[in-house]
Amino acid sequence: MQSANVLLKKIIRNSVLPFAAQHGMKKDLFPLSRTLSLSLCLKQDNSASPSEKLDLDAWKKVMKSGLQEEGSETVSEQKELSTLAAAREILEMWRLAGRSVPENITEEQLKTFMECPSKSAKKKYLKYLHLKELYKKNDKRKMDEKRERRLETQKQASETDETKRNSFMYLWANTMDKAYSWRVAQSMIFGQPLIFDMSYEKDMSVREVANTVRQIVLSEGCNRRSVDPFHVHFCNLKDDSLYHKEFIKHYREAWGKLLITVTDQCYTDIFPKDKLIYLTADSPKVMKTFDHDKIYIVGSMVDKSIKTGVSLARAKRLGLETAALPLEKYLLWNSGAKNLTLDQMMHILLTLKDTGDWKKALEFVPKRKYCGFVSRPVHELKKTLNLINTLKLGKRQEEARRQFAKSYSKKLTQK
Amino acid sequence: MALFSQTSQQGFQALLWKCRMFWPVSRCHQLFAVSVSIPDREKVSYFSFVTSSSTAFPVDPKGTDAFPTKKRSEIDYEEEKRWDEETKEIPEGKLHFSSSVGAPKKRLTSQVVSRHKFTYVQPPEKPLRAEEWNRLRESFQSPEIFEEVMFNNMVRYNSPIDVAKSLLTHVAKSNGDIAYNLLLKYLALCVQQGQTSEIRDVYDIMKIRFRILESGAYNLLIKGLSNSDEWRMALTLLEEVKKIMIPSRINYESCIRAASRHQEMNLAFELYHEMLAKDLVPTLDILQAFFDFSRGMKGAELQKELFGILLYLRENQIYPHKTFMRSIKLWFESIPGGNWRGHLTNIKDSGQCPVCNHQLEDSDLTEEEYNNLRERIIRDVIHGTDTFRKTSPQEFEAFQTFVENRLPFDIVIDGLNVSHMKPRRLQCENLFDAVNCLAKDNARLLVLGRKHMLINSSNWKREIMKEMQNKADFFFAENISEDDAFLLYATLRSGQHCKFVTRDFLRDHKACLSDSVTRHLFRKWQRGHQIVFSPSAEGKHINFMPAFSYDCVVQTTGDTWHIPYKDLFEEKYSYRVPRKWLCIQQQR
């Protein structure tokens, strides 16, 4: 009973009075209801068997007691929070509430967060940071595990100390690099040009530019390692552009030593117009074969929001020929947009250049985007599809499939 | 189950409604008296139900016990819907308040289920002691999230609050502290059950324990308190939220409902204008609450505000749903000395209201609006960021001179769209039929197409094309240009009388317009000027549905109001306008 009294006092002191004073509420209502509920609670306790004594409000006592002094301090401090610090606090609370919010956030990120125009933009940005943090943590954990494992094997190796002999020479990475560089240097003199058009900066957000540059770095890498590399041109690349900054972030000092041609000129100034072909998924023309005498242009653009016809518009403006990959012709398309990433494009073009085999080249289209290759004529395909369906599925699905195959063949004949 | 009861009630309500139409006026006051005495927690939208039903049956003096079971289930349903809305932002698996009654389907489809099957644990029915909780915890698959999962399920199964308390006590005693997310979930449970004093306690504890609270807690607190006697506290909380962020419209909804429920209409309207100033879009429930609670109240100011809401509906081309419409009707009829009468009706194609014989306004734009829309179409839709995306400057110029030389047209046809009307026929035959059908009264036609139509092919026969070109003007765009933009331009250039034919909803073009005012203008213009191929005439003949001769928005002439409304469960397509109307007129 005494404890209950103490609790009651505490409650009144802590909670009700400030509010009652603030809003001038019915002061008597509160304590009354509280005693009522308390006495109810006590009654319950008495009626229950002695072994089952359960103080249901004990948690409140715990929560209020240990933290009282601290609490009073913080309340007085609360007013003098700068906006940034306040934002940081809200983030912390969101994290406690279990939302996807990063644990650590830098001043710069916090500013970006504050500048987000809408609530959903803020949420998205936080989620992005959160995931980034998770990945980083995971990577670090894996690295640590790896190091531990390595140390262990070293220890074991040192115990069973035995020098290994090998008649082969190791081809170290820098040797390989030299060989690759030699090839690329040759391609810069004799190779077929491939152009990345860097004129889409204004159509993209900062993150999209960053993604674009990453894809280009990947494609440059795979070009360097290929048997017969392209002579890569970065056209329309201005010196102080976002692209440029991102490139330097990725390559650091290697940027100056890359075996590619970087220019702020347009490709139409460098090459004859009739040799240029702009590759864009919006093009009405479908590429039939890879032409070794033409110069292909790839637009360096990632569009996360749907912006159709931007690169087609560019080609139209300059009066260039355009082409799209024959994805429909060779693949049973499943889902996803027909625009591919820049490194996938590079893989496909390199394979085409080496072999001219569409099937091999289109292996680089992500598997989730298509169901399978169209290897045989469509009517044969249709037959097998039907056969499979009658064996596997009921008749209804068969009908649906037939419909699909029909419309598919129609599409093909139209092309 | 809840859904079912609601639908059945709808039908029931509709039935009662019919009876209601013939009631003498004097009953209104009596009805109103009944509705006031309903406890605070009840949802407003069901007032209309209570009022109408209680007259059909012997009037219950308390008015509250008319259909206790049904009402309860409906409230549950409504609240749960909200729950999901509010907690959507919280990642799955962490804090997922699913409902206990209304959403078995949702439960099946939710990803949480497939991933963590173990999250389905039936919470105990009675408070447990520490040892018992410990035992449960150890038997649980992953003890570290045991409390979280248990609380989620308590919210889901709406467990008694004592059970939750006993778990909190256990946690507090073993850890010496309770994590914020657990407090939040406990708070959610309290709000769900309307435990006001508990909500206050949790708030106090949170205030002591944490410097500031985040939006989730505030959402719950405001929601919980606004439904109780301490609704003014919700207002102070709203002020607190404003300090750290813009409150959500649901926050405002709770406060506005609470204020208007206690007949503080001025306060409610203050909040309403405040949220409009913050560019928040009010929910229909807010607007409905105003009509529900102003029923029978006097005051020119109040009336003006409510008319303002109706004009807001008009401006933003919002159509109220059926229950909302009923609230509006009841409010009008309850204005003391106003002599308003409302009738439900269908407007004829001619645009005349069968009840009051009033001619509805047409969707013609004013001169200024029209010119504005035309400029914006040229600027945003045709040119956009890059003229080459949809056409080319040369082509557009050629088209402009072509149109200027032959103005004005009566009907502009999207040739390629129309040619696909009937898939069995040749495309040129379809177009030919359409042109013949539309060319009746010496109307000047313009057909827009692409160059490939001129090449003699299996679908496009040269002779038929030749013959058509005698009857209508043709413009052929490049094969990769967009003809829709030309369609809009030619129609707008020809003047207000000119209509256009396409089955396209033109949503992508509407989306190109940058601000909502122009988009509303565009929609209004589209409603009045688009002729659509009518799908019912699949047989021999081609039929066209004429464009609406009247505009489908809330409209008034001072002593009449016409309000289009839609059924509650009607599918909402942006292009489809309701055919049902509420006609309200003032009798002199």
* Alpha helices for A48-190 (secondary structure H): 58-65, 68-77, 83-96, 107-115, 119-159, 173-190
* Best residue in A26, A60, A318 for a mutation probing chain B (most B CBs within 10 Å): A60
- Judge if ipTM > 0.85: no
Q: What single string gives the DSSP state of each residue in A5-21?
A: HHHHHHHIIIIIHHHHH
C-alpha B60: how far from its chain's center?
A: 35
- What gap in Å lies between CA B553 and CA A199, rounded to an integer? 46
Structure tokens at B160: 């008694």
Q: Which residue has the higher pLDDT, B15 or A283?
A: A283
Which residues in B lie closer than 8 A to residue A71 (C-beta atoms)? 207-209
If one compares A173 and B107, the residue with the highest pLDDT of the two is A173
Q: What are the residues facing B345 on neighbouring strands?
A: B581
The DSSP element (H or E) to which B523 belongs, if any, is helix B516-529
Q: Chain A residues with CB inside 8 Å of B385's CB?
A: 203, 310
> What integer pLDDT is reported at residue A53 of this predicted model?
55
> What is the model's pLDDT at position B536?
55
Number of inter-chain CB pairs under 8 A, A vs B: 145
CA Rg value for chain A: 34
Burial of A329 per CB tally in 10 Å (0-12, 13-18, 19+): middle
Q: Verify whether the Cβ–Cβ distance B91 to A99 is below 8 Å.
A: yes
Rg (CA), chain B: 30
Locate the chain B residue with the closest alpha carbon to A84. Answer: B244
Taking an 8 Å cut-off on Cβ atoms, the answer to whether A313 and B388 are in contact is: yes
Of A54, A67, A98, the CB nearest to B129: A54
Residue B497 sits at φ, ψ, to 5 deg, of -75, -15
Q: Do B180 and A96 touch (CB under 8 A)?
A: yes
Which residues in chain A touch residue B215, judged by CB atoms under 8 angstroms apart? Answer: 90, 94
Q: Are B221 and B250 in contact (CB under 8 A)?
A: no
Encode pLDDT of A345-389 as tens digits: 999 999 999 988 888 899 999 999 888 887 665 556 666 666 666
Give me B237's structure tokens: 């909380």
In whole angstroms, what is the distance from residue A165 CA to residue A143 CA? Answer: 29
As to burial, measured by CB atoms within 10 angstroms (0-12 exposed, 13-18 middle, 19+ buried), residue B302 is: middle
Q: Residue B378 gets which letter from DSSP?
A: I
Locate B66 and state its tokens.
């008319």
User: Binning pLDDT at 50, 70 and 90, where does residue A400 land?
Assistant: low
Tell me whether residues B388 and A74 touch, CB distance under 8 A.
no
Rounded CA separation B302/B52 (Å): 24
Q: Which of A74-78, A327-331, B26-30, B462-466 has the lowest mean pLDDT?
A: B26-30
Identify any residues that bridge with B506 across adjacent strands, giving them in sequence order.
none
What is the per-residue burial (b if ≥16 Cβ within 10 Å, else e) of B84-112? Answer: eebbebbbebbbbbbbbebbeeeeeeeeb
Q: With beta carbons under 8 A apart, name residues in chain B contacting A57.
A: 165, 169
Q: Tell me which long-range contacts A83-89 makes (C-beta under 8 A, separation of at least 24).
A: A83/A114, A84/A110, A84/A111, A84/A114, A86/B212, A86/B244, A87/A113, A87/A114, A89/B211, A89/B212
C-beta separation of A297 from A287 below 8 A: no
How far apart CA A126 and CA A99 sit, in angstroms, is 9
What span, in angstroms and rounded, lies between the C-alpha atoms of B497 and B363? 11
Sheet holding B340-346, edge to edge: B340-346, B580-586, B560-565, B555-556
Instruction: Report the pLDDT value the prediction gives residue B284, as an integer from 0 to 100.
Output: 92
Nearest-by-CA chain B residue for A30: B197
Which token pair is B38? Answer: 């309903």
- How far does the CA of residue B179 sit from the closest CA of chain A (Å)? 8
CB-CB contact of B428 with B459 (8 Å): yes
Tell how strand A231-235 and strand A193-197 pair up.
parallel
Inter-chain CB proximity A56 and B166 less than 8 Å: yes
**Nearest residue to B306 via CA among B294, B318, B315, B321:** B294
Local confidence band at A390 (pLDDT 50, 70, 90 cut-offs): low
Query: B454's torsion region: left (phi>0), alpha (psi -120 to 50) or beta?
Result: alpha
Q: Are A185 and A259 in contact (CB under 8 A)?
A: yes
Buried-exposed string B306-339: b where 16+ CB fall within 10 A, e elsewhere: beebbeebeeebbbbbbbbbbbbbbbbbbbeeee
Neighbours of A362 (CB within 10 A): 22
In whole angstroms, give the CA distance from residue A221 to residue A258: 11
Residue A328: per-residue pLDDT: 85
Q: Do A97 and B184 touch (CB under 8 A)?
A: yes
Does residue B140 or residue A22 have the better pLDDT? B140
Residues of B within 8 A of A12 (CB-CB) are none
Which chain B positions have a beta carbon within 8 Å of A313's beta carbon? 386-389
- Give chain A's mean pLDDT: 79
Gap from A256 CA to chain B (nearest CA, Å): 34
The rounded distance, in Å, linking the Cα atoms of B132 and B577 is 60
φ and ψ at A256, to 5 degrees?
A: -75, -20
The whole-angstrom distance between B214's CA and the closest CA on chain A is 6
Predicted confidence at residue B82, as pLDDT, reads: 39
Q: pLDDT 10s digit of each residue in chain B, 588 long?
A: 444 444 444 444 444 444 444 444 444 444 333 333 334 443 433 333 333 333 333 333 343 333 333 333 343 444 333 333 333 333 333 333 433 333 344 433 444 444 444 567 788 888 888 888 888 888 887 777 888 888 888 988 888 888 888 888 888 888 878 888 888 999 999 999 988 888 988 898 888 888 888 888 999 999 999 988 889 999 999 998 998 888 999 999 999 999 999 989 999 999 999 999 998 999 999 999 999 999 888 888 999 999 999 999 999 888 899 999 999 999 999 988 888 999 999 888 888 888 888 888 888 888 999 999 999 998 888 888 888 888 888 999 999 999 999 878 999 999 898 888 877 788 888 888 888 888 877 788 999 999 988 888 888 888 888 888 888 899 999 888 888 889 999 999 998 889 898 888 888 888 888 888 898 899 889 888 888 877 655 555 667 777 778 888 899 998 899 999 988 766 666 667 788 899 999 887
Contacts of B244 in chain A (CB under 8 A): 86, 90
Q: What is the DSSP string of A211-259?
A: HHHHHHHHHHHHHHHSSS--EEEEES--TTSHHHHHHHHHHGGGGGG-S
